[in-house]
Chain A
Amino acid sequence: EVPLVESGGGLVQPGGSLRLSCAASAFSFTTSWMTWVRHVPDKGPEWVANITPDGSGTYCVDSVKGRFTISRDNAQNSLYLQMNSLRVEDTAVYYCARDFDWGALDIWGQGTTVIVSS
């Protein structure tokens, strides 16, 4: 059983929107901080956003503030990333991951690719 499975990536035009989903299983999702990280080949990964276990607190990197929203549904064991006003520079592989210790991400999904291009 794969603990984290992302979906929702694809090709979108600049200015468009996408909603990424991450389905969790085989660990205690409801008590876990969760994170989205994105990675462009040949560059270091970029931490995008994280969310507290109960969803009451969210934090985003400045480059996506006002455009991306992280959320979760603990009843569905699911994490989401709503991405609006997409830019070419948002093109990356997006991973969801569990944060068990202040940025120590111990469980990762397989990633979903987002391509922003006209």
Chain B
Amino acid sequence: TVMTQTPLSLSVTPGQPASISCKSSQSLLHSSGRTFLHWYLQKPGQSPQLLIYEVSSRFSGVPDRFSGSGSGTDFTLAISRVEAEDVGLYFCMQGTHTPRTFGPGTKVDIK
């Protein structure tokens, strides 16, 4: 399953919203009725961290300015008000099909 992301880079003014699109080459709806699309952020010099799992569930400790949405093959990560600490590489990843696959990443920086 090929994952694509747009844009590949994003420069945002603090306090402004941002969104990243992720598309899969096939539906991520599992036979269980669940959709295993997850979002990660890799901050500079750090390991990736889980932000959102199963499309829209915010992981423990993730600020509520992060939200996920979508279904089937089209998904979006939104940041309602970007803060300086949000800079880094954002990846989507699908867990519905084996092998699991990641998107190419979207680099977010601050204007």
Q: Does B26 contact A (CB under 8 A)?
A: no
* Bound complex: CA A106 to CA B62 (Å): 12
Main SS of the interface on chain A?
Answer: strand
Main SS of the interface on chain B?
Answer: loop
Given A101-B36, A101-B53 in contact, is the A108-B48 Cβ separation under 8 Å?
A: yes
Residues of B within 8 A of A108 (CB): 47-49
Residues of B within 8 A of A50 (CB): 100
A-B residue pair count with CB separations less than 8 angstroms: 66
Residues of A within 8 A of B48 (CB): 37, 39, 45, 95, 105, 108
Given A44-B104, A47-B99 in contact, is the A106-B36 Cβ separation under 8 Å?
A: no
Q: Does A103 contact B (CB under 8 A)?
A: yes
Interface size class of A (residues with CB under 8 A): 20 to 34
Closest 6 CB pairs of A and B: A103-B95, A104-B53, A102-B95, A47-B100, A108-B47, A102-B36
- Write 16 A-B pairs (CB below 8 A) sorted by A numbering: A44-B91, A44-B104, A45-B48, A45-B91, A45-B93, A45-B102, A46-B102, A47-B100, A59-B98, A101-B54, A103-B94, A103-B95, A103-B96, A104-B36, A105-B50, A109-B47
